[in-house]
Structure 1
Amino acid sequence: MSTAFNNVVQGQLLWRPSPDLIQHARLTHYLDWLRHERGLRFADYPGLWQWSVDDPQAFWQSIWDHFQVQASSPHQTVLGDRAMPGAQWFPGARLNFAEHILRNEQAGDALLYGSETKGLQGLPWAEFANQVRTLATYLREVGVVPGDRVVAYLPNIPEAMIALCACAAIGAVWASCSPDFGADGVLDRVHQLSPKVLLAVDGYRYGGKVFDRREQVRRIAYELESIEHIIVLSAMFPETPLTLANAIDWHALHLRPTMPAAHFHCEQLPFEHPLWVLFSSGTTGLPKAIVHSHGGMLLEQLKALHLHLDFRPGDAAFIFTTTGWMMWNTLFSSLLCGVRPVLYDGHPTWPNIDTLWQILQDSRASFFGTSPTFIELMKRQEIVPRERFDLGALRTVMPVGSPVSPQCNAWFYQNLKADIWVTTGSGGTDICTGLLSGVPTLPVYAGEIQARALGVNAHAFDEHGQPVMDQVGELVVTSPMPSMPVYFWNDPQGERYRESYFQPWPGVWRHGDFFQLNTRGGCRVLGRSDATLNRFGVRVGTAEIYRALEAIADIDDALIVNLDLPEGGFFMPLFVQLRPGTVLDEAMQQRVFDCLRRACTPRHVPDQILAVPLIPLTLTGKKMEVPVRRILMGHDPQTVTNPSAMRDPQALAFFIEYARRRFQP
């Protein structure tokens, strides 16, 4: 194992791109195109970024032209109205997201897929496209028209991507939940949409166990009064199929005659026509139903995947995800680039701890998206993938889902290979992309995101709404982006939309993260600003504390909050989930205190440390800092949390009892 980064520190240089990588990067091809086609020359990435935000009309038109966006009707202008919210992008244009996927149909596989019981297989383009056209034709025949909603309760399998592409092709609006959601969690989300069609699986396998979802599907179908048609995929119980009124079996559907490509047309839609609805976590109320558009997603994904993640035609990309997370939509969008998405339906460490590395080897993927939590597990198990697997095709890894520590960055160079590009980013469901992103032609510094993404006018604002450099502030965006939501569902006046993103500064998107920008353009995200730790007048990001605690192997997970007390006081408890067999004794507590004081500052040291059975997490793995803080401040748990949005609702029991004992008379 390499020892070059054993004592890595924040901001340490970890990697520089080779001349060969720079030469072949899609970003370099784009710069060459700008020089030849537009007469524009940029000395470096900061210069290109500055142009992209100073002249957004020229920049987004260049993305349209460079990636040869197809439209049946031309746009009148690029940006008709710059207001936020309410910006009008490419008015007059009519296009279709799915058409830009299907134009890549060719010989070979469209995607690769595997599960806990089956190795990797390929789905040929001809079969993928034929199934898309068959399903789309069926949906048209039963009366699905542009704007109708189709909701899916499916795992990360080819059928889900086929269904999304078919819905997009006919202008239906897609929304999905993974089958690990209970019926309540699904209904909280999709009931808002009044969907016409439900696609559902009868069960799924995870960690070697089969989970029966037939009763959940029956309840979902019963309570969604708007449902007119149901498509059932019998994956786990083919001998006792799920029978429902107005239901058709997925496999029977695909025995229908294939619609020839020459006779099939993709619906031509306005730029802002809804493509899919993504949902917020819903931990403190009804999940927000965030609507993204055909045009906005098309341009943003073409830009982000090609220029920032360096996806190239012929590549394979593996992101460990479920259909309930926006990274699944990103993985689906890789089809726009002529890239094969690699799907895995199952537990990341079952039947073996190195299951995902086996998939990477077998798929010859050039890109791997995973979570810092998974890498922490690899560290603790002392897994060194480069010693056991051929990862020669792997060019890029991207840890996603939470802020990435310098140690996590360095792990890849120590345990995969020295010349790999470790890119990180920050964005989310709200925009289904990154505000801060990787750049393949820039160096990588430990604990930093490389840059602000092209076309994203991101800044750190202080409490007075002024941009700051080398200081922690609020992450804001001061100019519109095509992938900002067109609206929230059932929010006709836009009140919830404005409350979510445009306070306290009207016309400025407030993302809700602590953010620090340095003079070379590097970025750090330090946790959610609505979970502020404010001690002695200094704002502390929770991510800094979690990073430091990674050095203590006996702590599996942690959560910290700061409570405002009467007369200006505060109380900051740290809750830790310990490894089995570990005890929170005085020696352990002192290790934590010393670690935080040494790695951070005395302000980061908690007032009390408490061991808990479980750290409360959302279904997508986010720590529930805000609900815990509200519970500890005396709020009714039923008003600040939604159990159906949690991975394990019982994880809150400790905090509810602790609040009762500690803070109530």
Structure 2
Amino acid sequence: MPDNPKMIAFARWCAERGAPVAPDGSDYDALWRWSVTQTADFWTSVRDFFEVSLEGTPTTVLSGQMPHARWFEGTRLNYVDQIFRRPLSDGPAVIDAAESAADGAGFEERVLSWSELARQVGAFAATLRELGVTRGDRVVGYLPDIAEAIVAFLASASIGAVWSSCGQDYSPDAAANRFGQLRPVVLVAADGYRFGGRGRDRREAVEVLLERLPTVRAAFLVPRLGSGAVSGFRPWRQAVAAQAELVPERLPFEHPLWVLFSSGTTGRPKGIVHGHGGVLLEHLKSLGLHLDLRAGDRFAWYTTPSWMVWNYRVSGLLLGATVVCYDGSATYPSPDALWALAARHHITFLGASPGFVAACEAAGVQPAARHDLRSLRAFGSSGSHLPASAYEWIRTRVGEHVEVHSASGGTDVVTAFAGGAPILPVRPGELSGPSLGVALEAWDPAGRPVRGQTGELVITRPMPSMPLYFWDDADGSRYHDAYFSAYPGVWRHGDWVTMTRRGTVIVNGRSDSTLNRQGVRMGSAEIYQAVEALPEVAEALVIGAEQPDGGYWMPLFVQLAEGAELTDALIERITSAIRDGASPRHVPDDVVAVEAVPHTITGKKLEVPVKRILQGTEIEQVADRGSIDNPSALQRFAEYRAERTRTGRVVEARR
């Protein structure tokens, strides 16, 4: 446990004001129960503890039920106000870092002080006003993870404009599929980004994107690589040149803050709209209490503006923490690049994907032996299951003092449903517990809560960061169908989880791609953990597909390591590993080699689209190609299904 965690201070503060929690603040279960049974009191306490400045007296803290719950009606605020409420200083607010360049196009790391950040945000806000941008207008960013993305977002939010962004690894068509729905009036883009030791020139893509967005009235180009001008774009330096005071506008509590997009694996990406007040309260709670983030900390999480973690990390500024951006590959120029970054900038909280940890482990990286990581207090992981072995690797290779925060949440609520807490023990392979304010349960098919067995992840009480609505969903039908069609008035997230009897949470996989053999539900995580530990297997994808004749087909697709072949001996090793590591029921019907396992651009395996392809759906109907890291990889699964259907037998697919 960290020294004097803020969560204990919060619990004691609440106890002094009559909350039914332990006076010494040490009982997390009591604190959580109060947070989900007396919801309005809990979120009022979060507001008061973090001294959120609200204008007006709420007519009610919480009214209505999901999906129509409303928070703090009658009040006004601005997310940006909370960031700049402290006296401005010359201390670092944003550190803008990038990988080293092998192509000779060097890049100097930059630091924006709190004073300079406020100046640039005020300047761009003034530029937006001069362009006639008003409340509710949309400003979009096609940018790498750089300081300018933060400036543009905060400036937009300060005047009531709505922000949306994606990284430049998206194609211009994929970006337009998202931004075009919003009908934006301003576009901010960069001339390129860094990855794998060289600059990736995106001027042509930027120009194409602008053509695809006919509603844009003004576009600004950030010279990230210094590659040159782009037709139709104004220089970014002009946009932030003014000396203008930053005066955030007070907005209704639920005024839209940003639009995040679903992954696009089930059709056109859905625009998910979140509000100023809900995000502000949720992120103060999550970052301030669960991550124990505070002023002076340095907060880094390897991400892109395409992923909700970017938005989550920016909110570190709400607590007075320094936010560290990183433009580049997590494993260049060496597999320990992020650990070097953490040492260089004395990062206190570093986040990355389970895949990054696995890559470090496979490469034999020794972070603590090579780098001074004494400042690093915690490591965060999200996006997929963090196996138990990763906890041990962090303990022995990074440091026993580094607490592991594995979390599971979603773009839908831009936070974690479950994860770590400074007053809970860390159990390898498990999430420490449901987050405060999250009425998380696992339900069986009859809608009954279950413990110690896998069930559907549901949320039974409103959270302030739940979507206000989906973009272009006037009657709310798409929003309702996404979360509330299975259990009226209860949020069904689409994950299988196990609520253990000791209070921890185990995420077993997506419920709509869940394996279900003979009525026994299984998640995919255990299979991946067993198979991907084999040196011959680079990555795996398992699918459980219901068949028209009532049968059930469960193939395992493996991307082999370089030089490996899918021999009978290797298939036996794979099935034995699954049988020993999970159960005989987990052993697949077929083991098939593929050139690549497809993912979303943010790194999630495309289990659901592949399942639908194997069930006969055309590729174009199951996925937006622009949101996939390797669209051609999907074709292999369509060919495999066609061959299997034609021959009625298992297809030999060895390499």
* Structure 1 CA distance for aligned equivalents of residues 562 and 345 of structure 2: 35
Q: Show the 5 A alignment for 1:475-624.
A: 475-624=457-606
Q: Does 1:255 align with 2:235?
A: no
Structure 1 residues 656, 496: closer, same or farther in 2, change over 3 A? same
State the one-letter code of the partner of 2:558.
Answer: V
Aligned equivalent of 1:625, options 594, 597, 607: 607
State the one-letter code of the partner of 2:16.
Answer: H
SS across alignment from 2:60: coil
Identify the residue that residue 439 of structure 1 maps to in structure 2. Answer: 421
Q: Is the 8 A contact 2:601 2:628 kept in 1?
A: yes
Q: Is the 8 A contact 1:634 1:663 kept in 2?
A: no
SS across alignment from 2:492: strand
* Structure 2 CA distance for aligned equivalents of residues 195 and 439 of structure 1: 39
Aligned equivalent of 1:35, options 12, 15, 27: 15
Identify the residue that residue 79 of structure 1 maps to in structure 2. Answer: 62
**CA deviation profile, 1:585-610 (whole Å, cap 9, x unmatched):** 11111111111111111110011111
Identify the residue that residue 404 of structure 2 maps to in structure 1. Answer: 422
Aligned equivalent of 1:363, options 345, 356, 360: 345
Identify the residue that residue 130 of structure 1 maps to in structure 2. Answer: 119
4+ residue stretches of structure 1 with deviation over 6 A? none
Q: Is the 8 A contact 2:496 2:508 kept in 1?
A: yes
SS across alignment from 1:568: coil
For normalisation by structure 1, the TM-score amounts to: 0.94
SS across alignment from 1:369: strand
Gaps (5+ residues) in structure 2?
Answer: 101-106, 648-655
Aligned equivalent of 1:144, options 129, 133, 136: 133
Identify the residue that residue 6 of structure 1 maps to in structure 2. Answer: none
Q: Does 1:274 align with 2:256?
A: yes
* Structure 1 CA distance for aligned equivalents of residues 377 and 21 of structure 2: 28
Identify the residue that residue 43 of structure 2 maps to in structure 1. Answer: 60
* Structure 1 CA distance for aligned equivalents of residues 244 and 621 of structure 2: 50
State the one-letter code of the partner of 1:70.
Answer: S
* Structure 2 CA distance for aligned equivalents of residues 112 and 281 of structure 1: 28
SS across alignment from 1:364: coil
Q: Does 1:228 align with 2:217?
A: yes
Identify the residue that residue 12 of structure 1 maps to in structure 2. Answer: none
Identify the residue that residue 159 of structure 1 maps to in structure 2. Answer: 148
Q: Is the 8 A contact 1:114 1:343 kept in 2?
A: yes
Identify the residue that residue 662 of structure 1 maps to in structure 2. Answer: 644
Q: Is the 8 A contact 1:148 1:173 kept in 2?
A: yes
Aligned equivalent of 1:242, options 230, 244, 258: 230
Identify the residue that residue 344 of structure 1 maps to in structure 2. Answer: 326
Q: How many residue pairs were aligned?
A: 637
SS across alignment from 1:401: coil
Q: CA deviation at 1:119?
A: 5.6
* Structure 2 CA distance for aligned equivalents of residues 97 and 563 of structure 1: 45
Identify the residue that residue 452 of structure 1 maps to in structure 2. Answer: 434
Identify the residue that residue 284 of structure 1 maps to in structure 2. Answer: 266
Identify the residue that residue 195 of structure 1 maps to in structure 2. Answer: 184
Q: Is the 8 A contact 1:193 1:489 kept in 2?
A: yes
* Structure 2 CA distance for aligned equivalents of residues 408 and 182 of structure 1: 33
Q: CA deviation at 1:112?
A: 1.2
* Structure 2 CA distance for aligned equivalents of residues 132 and 495 of structure 1: 37
Q: Is the 8 A contact 1:73 1:95 kept in 2?
A: no
**CA deviation profile, 1:395-422 (whole Å, cap 9, x unmatched):** 1101211011111122111211123211
Structure 1 residues 481, 217: closer, same or farther in 2, change over 3 A? same
Q: Is the 8 A contact 1:203 1:212 kept in 2?
A: yes
SS across alignment from 1:24: coil
State the one-letter code of the partner of 1:319.
Answer: W
State the one-letter code of the partner of 1:78.
Answer: V
Identify the residue that residue 88 of structure 1 maps to in structure 2. Answer: 70
**CA deviation profile, 1:213-247 (whole Å, cap 9, x unmatched):** 22222222122121111111122244x31121xx4
Q: Is the 8 A contact 2:19 2:34 kept in 1?
A: no
SS across alignment from 2:489: coil
Identify the residue that residue 197 of structure 2 maps to in structure 1. Answer: 208
SS across alignment from 1:225: coil
State the one-letter code of the partner of 1:153.
Answer: Y
Q: Is the 8 A contact 2:20 2:30 kept in 1?
A: no
State the one-letter code of the partner of 1:252.
Answer: Q
* Structure 2 CA distance for aligned equivalents of residues 623 and 40 of structure 1: 43
**CA deviation profile, 1:73-96 (whole Å, cap 9, x unmatched):** 232221122x11010100001000
SS across alignment from 1:198: strand
Q: Is the 8 A contact 1:232 1:242 kept in 2?
A: yes
Q: Does 1:24 align with 2:4?
A: yes
* Structure 1 CA distance for aligned equivalents of residues 189 and 579 of structure 2: 51
Structure 1 residues 107, 211: closer, same or farther in 2, change over 3 A? closer
Q: Does 1:186 align with 2:171?
A: no
SS across alignment from 1:576: strand
Identify the residue that residue 104 of structure 2 maps to in structure 1. Answer: none
Q: Is the 8 A contact 2:335 2:359 kept in 1?
A: no
Q: Is the 8 A contact 1:157 1:343 kept in 2?
A: yes
**CA deviation profile, 1:305-359 (whole Å, cap 9, x unmatched):** 0111110211001100011100000110000000001111001111222211110
Deviates more, 1:318-327 or 1:398-407: 398-407
Aligned equivalent of 1:331, options 313, 322, 327: 313
* Structure 2 CA distance for aligned equivalents of residues 363 and 331 of structure 1: 16
* Structure 1 CA distance for aligned equivalents of residues 171 and 584 of structure 2: 43
State the one-letter code of the partner of 1:127.
Answer: E
State the one-letter code of the partner of 1:470.
Answer: G
SS across alignment from 1:559: strand
State the one-letter code of the partner of 1:58.
Answer: D
Structure 1 residues 442, 457: closer, same or farther in 2, change over 3 A? same
SS across alignment from 1:78: strand
Q: Is the 8 A contact 1:184 1:644 kept in 2?
A: yes
Q: Relative contact order (alpha carbons < 8 A, sep ≥ 6): 1 or 2 greater?
A: 1
Deviates more, 1:209-218 or 1:550-559: 209-218
Q: CA deviation at 1:569?
A: 1.9
Identify the residue that residue 169 of structure 1 maps to in structure 2. Answer: 158
* Structure 2 CA distance for aligned equivalents of residues 361 and 237 of structure 1: 28
* Structure 1 CA distance for aligned equivalents of residues 646 and 181 of structure 2: 37
State the one-letter code of the partner of 2:387.
Answer: S
Q: CA deviation at 1:566?
A: 4.2
Q: CA deviation at 1:210?
A: 2.5
* Structure 1 CA distance for aligned equivalents of residues 565 and 417 of structure 2: 41
Aligned equivalent of 2:89, options 58, 83, 106: 106
Q: Is the 8 A contact 2:127 2:240 kept in 1?
A: no
**CA deviation profile, 1:538-566 (whole Å, cap 9, x unmatched):** 01101121122232122111101012234
Identify the residue that residue 631 of structure 2 maps to in structure 1. Answer: 649
Gaps (5+ residues) in structure 1?
Answer: 1-16
* Structure 1 CA distance for aligned equivalents of residues 327 and 19 of structure 2: 47
Q: CA deviation at 1:435?
A: 0.7
Q: Is the 8 A contact 1:132 1:166 kept in 2?
A: yes
Q: CA deviation at 1:39?
A: 5.8
Identify the residue that residue 8 of structure 1 maps to in structure 2. Answer: none
**CA deviation profile, 1:291-315 (whole Å, cap 9, x unmatched):** 0000000000000001111102110
For normalisation by structure 2, the TM-score amounts to: 0.95
Q: Percent identity?
A: 44
Identify the residue that residue 297 of structure 2 maps to in structure 1. Answer: 315
SS across alignment from 1:90: strand
RMSD of equivalent CA atoms: 1.3
